[in-house]
Structure 1
Amino acid sequence: MEQAVNTLFGMHILNEAADRFSLTKGSYKKLGDFENYVYEVEREGQSYVMRFTHSSHRSELDVLAELDWISYLVQVGVDIPQVYTSRLGKMTEVIHAGDSYFTASLFQKAEGHMPDYANPAEWNEHLFASWGEITGRMHKATQSYTPSIHHKRMTWEDDELLVNAKSYVLPGDEYVLERLNEVMTHLHSLPQGQDVYGLIHTDIHSRNFFVDNGRISVFDFDDCAYNWFIHDIAIPLYYALSWGVPERYAGNREAFAADFVQAFWSGYEKVMPLSRQWLQELSTFLKLRDITLYLVIHKKEDLQLATPRLIQWVNDIKERIRQNIAIVEIDFDLCRFDSSAG
């Protein structure tokens, strides 16, 4: 979190939110603070998740638009944590901090745990297929979604990181802007029909869902935006590769990527029809994620204080951007797709 925002946040904000949402004061367990402040809290002995979003990151209307979509997905039967209201029956409560404010919102706490990518009993094709299926269910539902408030979530190109990219690119790294322009030019050429484009999560990696007895529960919809459905397939693949190729692949990233996509797609296409031709666009969205991560890291992190692991990660990202290559290029001949579908 930026230092200017850190100075505004404190126990007084937490306690004010506790009053408005009837929470047990002092029952605050910090879960994260990268783009939002996230806490596990209690109400009448039950655990919930409270999120505080600073107005420099999202307006209250942006948050309301996110919560409206989550509520719709829950209403139509998508298995995700629901949103709870305050004492006044509001999904959001604005807590002022100087000339800015925090938007507080309360969520059901997902059951289970983050999947262990080092454990083959958890990190396997069964998980990848379930991951694909819940993603497909969200995409299928979003095709019939109409916002119930007079404010829509942003589109992919409204992302502040892309709009202000020049501000986050270091001297000597101007090639990042060149690559971004190339990617955006290509994306602008893609169709945006309701069958391929809509409001999606945009960040369904394995740190944004829990697994409980095989059931996946997706959370953290803060980055939801109007984007192509294939984006929500590229992001799981990108982070699955980033966590590391399982030992059984002996470092063969391409083989693991092919198996991951095949398993993910098998779950996805069970519930959501999308032409398999869209898989050819994975490379573009993988490149975009490298660029986006470069931008967000240089916006949020002081790399002079970074760990060697983070520095190596950033250097790998920069080198791929410089060479104009994706984190992986998939040989789709290695994917064992169902010949009756797609």
Structure 2
Amino acid sequence: MRAEPATATDPAEELARRALGDFGIDREAALRFANRRENVVFRVTSGSAEWALKVHRPGYRTDREIESESAFLESAARAGVNVARPLRRRDGSHVAHVTDAQGAVAQVTAQEWLPAATPIGSSPDTFTGRSRPAAAHLRELGRTIAALHDCAERSGAPEGYDRPAWDAAGLCGPAALWGRASGLPALTPGQRATLAQAQDTLATELAALERSAATYGPIHADLTLENVLLSAGRIAVIDFDDCGEGWYLFDLATSAFFLTGHPEADALLAALLDGYRERRTLTAADAAAWQPLLLARSLSYLAWSVERPDEEATRFHLEHLLPRIVRASSLYLATGRTGWPELVLG
């Protein structure tokens, strides 16, 4: 999604500045707008130290959910995964509360700022073949995802963990986390019927997948190329906003989906999976679950677009993703395969 600049009258900047002291940061620190997506992010500089300060979208997450995200980040950092470590407030919590001019209470959090960080690729450009992420970066991403999953399997969910579940109901159920792809207004009657049937079929099939500590636990759930940065020569993972519980394989499916449209999709996917297999084993059960999870991931992007008709990402989804996802859904209903690359066991 395209970042929108903050304006001179944007109240988010004032909220961010008023929260600085809660995290032990000088209130006179330099504050610069960085990004606006679901939340508004500012870059904070004080001397040689830098942080990312996030003003959260009202009503999107509870304090407990944000604290759970922070606990997951801290657990990942302790396991050696390169993430932006969250800052704690003076009382040990992670969420500051600032009241705006209308009396509404905003949630603000802070994290380390990752130096000289750039995404390893663009999802739209990769999907359409306009660019190609480096195979070395994809292999390192695979190793990083495996490290996250090792940490999740070893440690389990942090105490008090309260995050959404990317399970069968969360992906394809009547009240799926990002909604239902079949609700897109732009669909033809035939497309709507195909997507609705695919969602219902997947909801049943995903419900039968194994949910053990070895296959299911805390996941990032949004490991697109934009959320994987190259910082100081290392791969770093950002934006845990959608983290929750789910199948570990879903993280791989998320990283893989935008590779599937590229002319060299097989080679790109092989690099990602080769890196993952350096740390974790992929099984025959994973290979069987790959196609339904990949299709469920793709449908979630269309579902996300239902309530965001004016977003640049929605326009891309309708033009480039929709035709391929409808074809893949139709093929899946007929054969159990999408036509997208398989998870090949090495």
Q: What TM-score, normalized by structure 1, do the two folds share? A: 0.79
Amino acid aligned to 1:330: P
The answer to whether the 8 A contact 1:49-1:108 is kept is yes
Match of 2:137 in 1: 127
**CA contact under 8 A between 1:23 and 1:44: conserved in structure 2?**
no
**TM-aligned CA distance change 1:311 to 1:153, over 3 Å:** closer
1:319 pairs with 2:326: yes
Structure 1 stretch displaced more, 290-299 or 224-233: 290-299
Corresponding residue number in structure 2 for 1:224? 243
Matches of 1:60 and 1:146, distance apart in 2: 21
Report the number of matched residues.
319
Q: Give the letter aligned to residue 179 of structure 1.
A: A
Question: Could you report, residue by residue, the CA deviation over 1:230-276 in whole angstroms, capped at 9, with x for unpaired residues?
Answer: 1111111112345xx2xxxxx3xxxx232223222221122123315
Query: Do the aligned partners of residues 268 and 184 (structure 1) sit closer, same or farther apart at CA in structure 2, a change above 3 Å counting?
Result: same
Picking from 105, 108, 122, the partner of 1:104 is: 108
How far the C-alpha of 1:45 sits from its partner, in A, is 3.9
Q: What corresponds to 2:308 in structure 1?
A: 300
What is the deviation of 1:116? Answer: 4.3
Query: Hey, what does 2:268 align to over in structure 1?
Result: 260
| Equivalent position SS for 2:242 | coil
| Structure 2 residue 211 is matched with structure 1 residue 192 | yes
1:224 positional shift: 0.8
Residues in 2 aligned to 1:10 and 1:213: alpha-carbon distance in whole angstroms: 30
2:239 corresponds to which letter in structure 1? D
RMSD between aligned alpha carbons?
3.5
**2:330 aligned with 1:330, yes or no?**
no
Residues 139-218 of structure 1: pairs in structure 2 closer than 5 A: 139-156=149-166, 157-158=169-170, 162=176, 165=179, 169-170=183-184, 172=189, 174-175=192-193, 176-212=195-231, 214-218=233-237
Taking the aligned partners of 1:185 and 1:328, their CA distance within structure 2 comes to 21
8 Å CA contact 1:202–1:225 kept in 2: the answer is yes
SS of corresponding position for 1:28: strand
- Mapped to 1, the partners of 2:232 and 2:39 lie a distance apart of 29
Q: Which amino acid aligns with 1:20?
A: D
Q: Give 3-state SS (helix, strand or coil) of 2:30's partner.
A: coil
Percent identity among equivalent residues? Answer: 16
Shift of 1:314: 5.3
Distance 1:223 1:309, change over 3 A: closer
Aligned 1:42-57 pairs, distance under 5 A = 42-57=45-60
| 8 Å contact kept, 1:68–1:147 | no
Q: What code does the residue aligned with 2:176 have?
A: L
| Residue type at the aligned position of 1:224 | C
Question: Aligned-pair distance for 1:158?
Answer: 4.3
State the match for 1:14 in structure 2. 16
Aligned partner of residue 80 in structure 1, secondary structure: coil
Is there any run of 5+ residues in structure 1 with no aligned partner, and where?
Answer: 246-250
- Asked if 1:280 corresponds to 2:299, the answer is no
Give the superposition deviation at 1:150. 2.4
* Residues 1:164 and 1:216: Cα distance change in structure 2 (over 3 Å): closer
Partner of 2:38: 35
Query: What is the SS of the residue equivalent to 1:299?
Result: coil
